[in-house]
A and B are shown apart, each in its own frame.
Chain A
């Protein structure tokens, strides 16, 4: 419209040049200026290093042999990945990571949801309970790692002490060393970290729902299950998405817990992709291999986030 008016008012100017210049000037630069600093910093600290890491993953880079950095050979570029594919420990770590993520995310949501439902029914002592619930949130993941490493310690651990005192076991159990209990202990520690956040967000969601919906449902004779299925769960969808976003951050931090508690050991029993990559790089100085390894982890994380992103865009659209 404006272009048309301009053309009519000033016939001497060519329409091409006019629309381009005007459009450039009319263009709203404000949102770009606001996002530029964020983009610069994130590109410098995350995007560029990750691109560099991708490059390193195609080289036989070994930290103690600097000459290996520039040894990029086209035919050999997938050597690290090929070695990984043949590495049993890698497959074990990959499987453990997927298992770990699926179990901790689902268990946190189910337990957190149950606690939120329970808390929504509470009629007294909400204040103290809320403070108690937030106590695990005061712990850094490293602290949670140390805490549970101590509790599950075979000789001085709280869990063994308690079970021995109660007479439930006669011999100390090596929780972090034995086969299924090692992974289970790690998952338990991670769930302990995530459950409070999940239940607080879901509790806020439950309390934000209007009681009228439930009253109407009771009048219509809806059962407990039907109310859950047709009112509570769909109405709380935005809160579940928030929980997923927060969990995706927390699960990434679970590395701290695993690193402190077992560091993937013993004998790679509790190895996750992150711990294995860390070991290859820090102890083995094999940055090429470790980078290839972390690329596999990045693919896992990005897939997870991408699914989440589509949900979130829908939510933003609904909110306006």
Chain B
């Protein structure tokens, strides 16, 4: 690799344009670099501390005076979390939580993304009667705080027997994800030039064919972003789950986290281990879409 780069220095130069004389490296830029690095380091520090805690022995975590520099790294916390070591088993039904969280999040994503995408397409392409009012209605549902919603949902779900079931919870999450998906996809569809649609219509395509064969394939990156957002929203949701679910049959990770808190003691290390477990999907998504995430968040605001 280095050899080939050395033999063709001009190509390497053009591939990565060097800053011109106007933007040469300045001491102020170096200062800004270090400042940014420090600030972001401080920002990330608490998170890194939690992750580190999950891999430290209990003695070190609870030591007083505190031990700042880790002496040993161990998987004890995870062993007791999964009950692999009967002596230290935490007794928290992690596997049920994992199963519930996964099924609820997957179910909610699989249904909310198609429904939301269809609505988003309608908003982006057609100025139909009531379209503005509908969009406003969808957005206003986002303004309803989870607690306010969870109270009537608790009563209604109890009446139809869906309380404390993963189906009931997934159904709620589908509805909660639809407005954001529609809004996100509206932005993505808006970036696709209308000329493509017109060309399809001239060739005699129906609205559905134009959507299915022309616009949807072009909006696939948006669909990916919407799916990730929907999955994580359901995976992380706490307010409603904490009120709708009560037993390990339906409790999800965020609700189960409180199992480590008893009246007088808190198992901080067990909580840290479960936190690491909960972060895995987010870590995977963030690393996989590091670049497109920015695009997903700024959908549509940049043209072209």
Contacts and interface: CB of A to CB of B under 8 A. Distances in A.
B25 A123 contact: yes
Contacts of A47: 137, 141
B37 A125 contact: yes
B15 to A, nearest CB: 17
Q: Decide if the interface of chain A is mainly helix, strand, loop or mixed.
A: helix
Q: Which of B151, B156, B179, B268 has most A Cβ within 10 Å?
A: B151
A28 to B, nearest CB: 7
B268 A121 contact: no
A258 to B, nearest CB: 11
B134 A35 contact: yes
Q: In which size bucket is the chain B interface? A: 35 or more
Contacts of B243: 278, 282
B156 A49 contact: yes
A43 B153 CA distance: 12
B75 interface: no
Contact of B178 (A41, A146, A196, A239): A41
B95 to A, nearest CB: 19
Given A31-B125, A133-B44, A201 B298 contact: yes
A216 interface: no
Nearest to B173: A45
Contacts of B287: 131
A161 B68 CA distance: 10
B293 interface: yes
B10 interface: no
Contacts of A291: 151-152
B153 A278 contact: no
A132 B190 contact: no
Residue of A53, A123, A146, A197 ringed by the most chain B CB atoms within 10 A: A146
Given A135-B48, A140-B278, A239 B298 contact: yes
A182 interface: no
Interface in B207-253: 207-208, 211, 235-236, 238-239, 242-243
B275 to A, nearest CB: 5
Contacts of A46: 141, 144, 149, 175-176
B34 to A, nearest CB: 10
Nearest to B268: A150
Interface size class of chain A, counting residues whose CB lies under 8 Å from the partner chain: 35 or more
B147 A255 contact: yes
A297 interface: yes
A42 B254 contact: no
Interface string A44-57: 11111110110010
B138 A204 contact: no
Interface string B239-279: 10011000000000010010000000010100100010011
Interface stretch (A6-14, A71-79, A173-181, A312-320): A312-320
Contact of B29 (A119, A121, A238, A308): A121
Contact of B46 (A119, A151, A275): A151
Interface of B: 19, 25, 29, 32-33, 35-37, 39-41, 43-44, 46-50, 62, 64-66, 68, 115-116, 118-119, 121-123, 125-126, 128, 131-132, 134, 136-149, 151-156, 171-172, 174-176, 178-180, 182-183, 186, 190, 207-208, 211, 235-236, 238-239, 242-243, 254, 257, 266, 268, 271, 275, 278-279, 282-283, 286-287, 290, 293-295, 297-298, 300-303
Given A56-B151, A200-B297, A204-B302, 16 more contacts: A31-B128, A35-B122, A42-B178, A50-B144, A118-B39, A119-B36, A137-B282, A139-B47, A142-B257, A201-B297, A242-B298, A274-B239, A294-B147, A294-B148, A297-B148, A298-B148
30 contacts: A38-B115, A42-B137, A45-B153, A45-B175, A47-B137, A52-B156, A53-B152, A122-B36, A124-B33, A130-B290, A131-B287, A132-B40, A133-B43, A135-B48, A138-B286, A140-B278, A143-B257, A150-B271, A156-B268, A158-B49, A208-B302, A239-B301, A242-B298, A256-B238, A274-B145, A287-B151, A291-B152, A295-B148, A298-B144, A309-B136
